[in-house]
Chain A
Amino acid sequence: MQPLPPAPSPPRFSIRRKIVFGFGLVLVMLGIIGLISFRSTQVFIATARSVAHTREVMEIQERTQRHLMEMESSRRGYLITGDENSLRESEDAQDRIVANFKALKEYTQDTPQQTLKLDRLLTLIQRSFAEQQSEIEIRRTQGLQPSVEAFVNGDSRQTREEIRKILADFDREQRALLAERAELTQVIGRATTVAIIAGSSLTFVALVVACILILRDVAARRRAEEALAAEHNLLLSIIDTIPDHVYVKDVEGRFILDNIAHRELHGPKTDGTTVGRTVFDYYQPDEAAVFDEDDRVVIESGESIMNREIEVPPQNGAEAWIEVTKVPLRDTDGDIIGLVGISADISDRKAAEAQLWQFASQLERSNAELQNFASVASHDLQEPLRKIQAFGDRLRNKCGPALSAQGLDYLDRMQSAAQRMQVLIQDLLKLSRVTSRAMPFEDCDLNEIVKAVIGDLEIDIEQKGAEIEVGELPTIQADPLQMRQLFQNLISNALKFQRPGDLPRVIVEGRVFKMKERKTPGALSGEEICKLVVRDNGIGFDSKFADQIFVVFQRLHSRSEYEGTGIGLAICRKITDRHGGTIVAKSAEGQGAAFIVTLPTTQPSPQAHDTRSHADYDIDGR
């Protein structure tokens, strides 16, 4: 399976913010440009208006000057000719000057220094009017000569000169103003153009940048959506490959999503789709109520139900079981929005378990029966045996003298057979006690135990002149009494199976090592194992008997050679079995024997390898 492509990291700013910000910026810039244009246009219009105004002022001023000249020439005409018509012309001109002046005054209200000049002009004009009037009066009353003198010598000339000067000044000023305003108009025009071009360019750039960013985001988003869709498909494919039923429900218990296994089972009952349906659409009401109750518990408590086994109505006559796991489904805020469920058909497993359980209980029963048999047989066999011996005693005591030597011999054989049978029965009891009288495992110092065993065997050891060498032994978890029994049996065997006259030599060794592999049945790998060896220099045995000697009552020698019933090694094997260990024998005829015991150094629980089924079962009870 290909690994999922890494999910694209979310952009630093959301696309929405980018759009709002980008277009907002453009709008603001457009607004600024509009404002600039509006302001420029206004200024432009005002400037144009003031240019026109200035031109008009100049026109009026020129007219005024012309009228002044007209007035002067007509007055001069009168002064020379005395013609009243000229005088009337002069008066007309004067009236027009006054009218023009008024207009001029009105037009130049916006320029105070011009107004000042006009005030001055007015004064001069009035004075000029007055002077001319007086010249006219002189002409009318005194004739031509005095009036020419007055005209030549009087102040009127000077006044007129001044008026001309002011007018010229005014004109110059007005021209300067005109030029200035025209210049301003041009500057504003250029500035406006520059501002509009710059603003438009900036806006254009901003728009382009915003578009690029947004397009890039959109592309990234589409990629992310595609990745998400791919992931979604992958997940769906995965859940579809699960043979168990996998489904998602909302808080109302309606299916939102499910896998093929679930859909194929239930879909056909509800038009091919399970979405929006509930368990009540698919199961009997009481059954559905069980599932629904679980859903409710998961959604209300927020706690998962793990591997709950539920028996469902039988399928094809066989018991049917499902194993259900339900986990609450939460949104990003942690609120529960439904649940995810998996239910597996475990009918086969349950059937196998039931069968296994049945086998186990059968085995347990047959084990118990065997134990019981051993115990009952031992006791019930002992009863008649006791009688045989008791009445044998009575026969010997009461009727001994009446019996022949042969009769007495028969009686002896009967009684010794009975005694032997009693020993056998007691040995069987000993064997069964390995499990029925088992004690809990505890730490056992094997050095102490072997020392005690050697103490018990002291008489035998001395009698045979035996030498026993004991190495350093470990401390392990075991049943101390059974460890003692184990060493007792092994060491006494080593002392027993000797050629007559030989001095027995027995070596007991032990060491601890870690298991690397599961070599020893019953021992777990990696566990610490204690290996104990009891070696002797005795008669040994043919290695083909190495397994047989551990079987109950199996003997390799006649009773006349070596006493015993053949129970000792069987007990040893049962003890090592109970401890989860092993015992094997290695030997060759006439070359001594070695018994190798392996035992775990620690026990998982006090009765771990106890094969007993009934703890209180007592083999000695009747």
Chain B
Amino acid sequence: MPITILMADDDADDRRLTQEAFEEGRLINDVRFVENGEQLLDYLRKQGPYAPPADAPRPGLILLDLNMPRKDGRTVLKELKTDPELRQIPVVVLTTSKADEDIYKSYDLGVNSYIVKPVTFEALVDILQTLEKYWFEIVELPPPKE
């Protein structure tokens, strides 16, 4: 069963480009998308539209945009990393912000990696391939609780 990757991004273009990049990179992961912080937490906690029997497998990696409507990435990150159930899931921030402040803040909150969105599609494919290889082949993660 392919590992699920959950991406939270309010930008439809970016979601589409990411989806295409996964395909272009021949990555077999189960990629799912949410559009804001609230949806992300609902998905992870299996609440609202994601309540059983909806299909919401626990992700092996979360790609998180920082600037999102309703609940932004910083707040979500804080909640994720203080939730004993969810904090083992690796979170990688994927954002357009290069601000030092965002980088510091994200690592302070316990983010696992911080990546600035690349300009070209090829670079994005490259990044996703690297992420997949790193988190699912190199790194040892705690076994899923389910």
Contact with A along B105-146 (1 / 0, CB 8 A): 000000000000101111010000000000000000000000
B45 close to chain A: CB less than 8 A = no
8 Å CB contact of B13 from A382, A387, A422: A387
Q: What's the Cα separation between A394 and B96 when bound, in Å?
A: 20
Complex CA gap A618/B97 in Å reads: 11
B 76-113 to A, binary, CB cutoff 8 A, 1 in contact else 0: 00000000000000000001111111100000000000
Q: Which residues of A contact B122 (CB under 8 A)?
A: 393
Contact yes or no, A621 B120, CB < 8 A: no
Contacts of B11 in A (CB 8 A): 383
**Quick check: B119 and A390 within 8 Å, CB to CB?**
yes
C-alpha spacing A426/B75, complex, angstroms: 29
List residues of A (359-386) whose CB comes within 8 Å of B's CBs: 379, 382-383, 386
B30 at the interface (CB under 8 A from A): no
B17 touches A390 (CB 8 A): yes
**Neighbouring A residues of B17 by C-beta, 8 Å:** 390-391, 394
Q: Which residues of A contact B67 (CB under 8 A)?
A: 622
Q: How far is the CA of A387 from the CA of B97 in the complex (A)?
A: 15
B residues 20-49 near A (Cβ < 8 Å) are: 20
Given contacts A387-B13, A622-B67, contact A394 B99 (CB under 8 A): no
Which residues of B lie under 8 Å from residue A386 when comparing CB positions?
Answer: 96, 117, 119
A620 and B117 form a contact (CB under 8 A): no
Tell me the interface secondary structure of chain A in the complex: helix
Question: Out of B13, B102, B119, B124, which one reaches A621, CB within 8 Å?
Answer: B102
Q: Is the CB of A618 within 8 A of B119?
A: no
Distance in angstroms between the alpha carbons of A68 and B20 in the assembled complex: 191
A616 to chain B, nearest CB (A): 8
Which residue of the partner chain, among A382, A389, A620, contacts B120 with CB atoms under 8 Å?
A389
Residues from chain B with Cβ under 8 Å of A618 in the complex: 99-101
- Least CB distance from A560 to B in Å reads 25
Flag if B98 contacts A620 (CB, 8 Å).
yes
Interface size of A in residues (CB-CB distance below 8 Å):
16
Query: Given the complex of chains A and B, what is the CA–CA distance between A379 and B102 in angstroms?
Result: 15
Contact A622 B99 (CB under 8 A): yes
In angstroms, how far is the closest chain B Cβ from the Cβ of A34?
A: 111
Chain B residues contacting A390 (CB-CB under 8 Å) are 13, 17, 119-121, 124
Q: Which of A232-266 contact B (CB under 8 A)?
A: none
Task: Specify which of B11, B96, B117, B124 lies most central, judged by the most chain A CB atoms within 10 Å of its CB.
Answer: B96
Instruction: Tell me whether B99 and A620 are in contact (CB under 8 A).
Output: yes
Verify B96–A383 contact, CB threshold 8 A: yes
> CA separation between A383 and B65, bound complex, in Å?
14
Indicate if the CB atoms of A620 and B97 lie closer than 8 Å: yes
- Residue-wise, chain A 384-414 has the 8 Å CB interface mask toward B (1 for contact) of 0011011101100100000000000000000
Question: B100, A393: Cβ atoms under 8 Å?
Answer: no
CB of B65 to closest CB in A, whole Å: 11
Known: A387-B13, A622-B67. A393 touches B121 (CB 8 A): yes
Question: How near does chain A come to B9, taking the closest CB pair, in angstroms?
Answer: 12
Query: Does B101 lie within 8 Å of A621, measured CB to CB?
Result: yes
Are A621 and B99 neighbours in the complex by a CB distance under 8 Å? yes
Q: Which residues of A contact B121 (CB under 8 A)?
A: 390, 393-394, 397
Which of chain A's residues 604-622 have a Cβ closer than 8 Å to chain B? 618, 620-622
Within the complex, what minimum Cβ distance (angstroms) separates A614 from chain B? Answer: 13
B96 x A621 contact (CB < 8 A) = no
Complex: how many Å from CA A387 to CA B117?
11
A residues near B66, Cβ cutoff 8 Å: 622
| A397 neighbours in B (Cβ, 8 Å) | 121
Query: How far apart are A281's CB and chain B's nearest CB, in angstroms?
Result: 61
Is the pair B120, A622 in contact by a Cβ cutoff of 8 Å?
Answer: no
- In the assembled complex, the Cα of A422 lies from the Cα of B67 at a distance in Å of 21
Which chain B residues border A622 with CB–CB below 8 Å?
Answer: 66-67, 95-97, 99, 102
**Assembly CA distance A391 to B12 (angstroms):** 13
Residue from the list A379, A389, A620 in contact with B119, Cβ < 8 A: A389
Query: Whose C-beta in chain A lies nearest to the C-beta of B98?
Result: A620
A397 and B101 CA atoms in complex are apart in Å by: 36
Q: Which of B67, B96, B119, B124 has the most CB of A within 10 A?
A: B119
Closest to B13 in A: A387
Nearest chain A CB to B123's CB is how many angstroms away? Answer: 9
Residues of chain A within 8 A (CB-CB) of B124 are 390
State how many angstroms separate the Cβ of B17 from the closest Cβ of chain A: 6
A390 to B121, CA, bound (A): 5
- B102: chain A residues at CB < 8 Å are 621-622
Q: Which residues of B contact A422 (CB under 8 A)?
A: 119
B96 and A382 within 8 A (CB): yes
Q: Nearest Cβ in chain B — how far from A365, in angstroms?
A: 22
State how many angstroms separate the Cβ of A375 from the closest Cβ of chain B: 10
Chain B, range 54-75, C-beta contacts under 8 Å to A? 66-67
User: Which residue, of A389, A390, A622, has the highest number of chain B Cβ atoms within 10 A?
Assistant: A390
**Smallest CB–CB gap between B101 and chain A, Å?**
6
Q: A385 to nearest B CB, angstroms?
A: 8
CA distance A383 to B98 in the complex (A): 13
Smallest beta-carbon distance A424→chain B, Å = 15
Cα(A387)–Cα(B17), bound, Å: 9
Residues of A within 8 A of B20 (CB): 394
The reply to whether B120 and A393 contact each other, CB–CB distance below 8 Å, is yes
Minimum CB–CB distance from A576 to chain B (whole Å) comes to: 26
A394–B119 Cα distance when bound, in Å, is 12
**Nearest B residue (CB) for A390:** B121
B108 to chain A, nearest CB (A): 16
Query: Could you pull out 12 A-B pairs where Cβ atoms are within 8 angstroms?
Result: A386-B119, A387-B13, A389-B119, A390-B119, A393-B122, A394-B20, A618-B99, A618-B100, A620-B97, A620-B100, A621-B97, A622-B95
Known interface pairs A389-B120, A620-B98, A622-B95; 5 further A-B residue pairs with C-beta atoms within 8 A, sorted by A's residue number: A386-B117, A389-B119, A390-B120, A391-B17, A621-B97
Top 6 nearest A-B pairs (CB, nearest first) are A621-B99, A393-B121, A622-B97, A620-B99, A390-B121, A620-B98
Binding site for A on B (CB under 8 A): 11, 13, 17, 20, 66-67, 95-102, 117, 119-122, 124
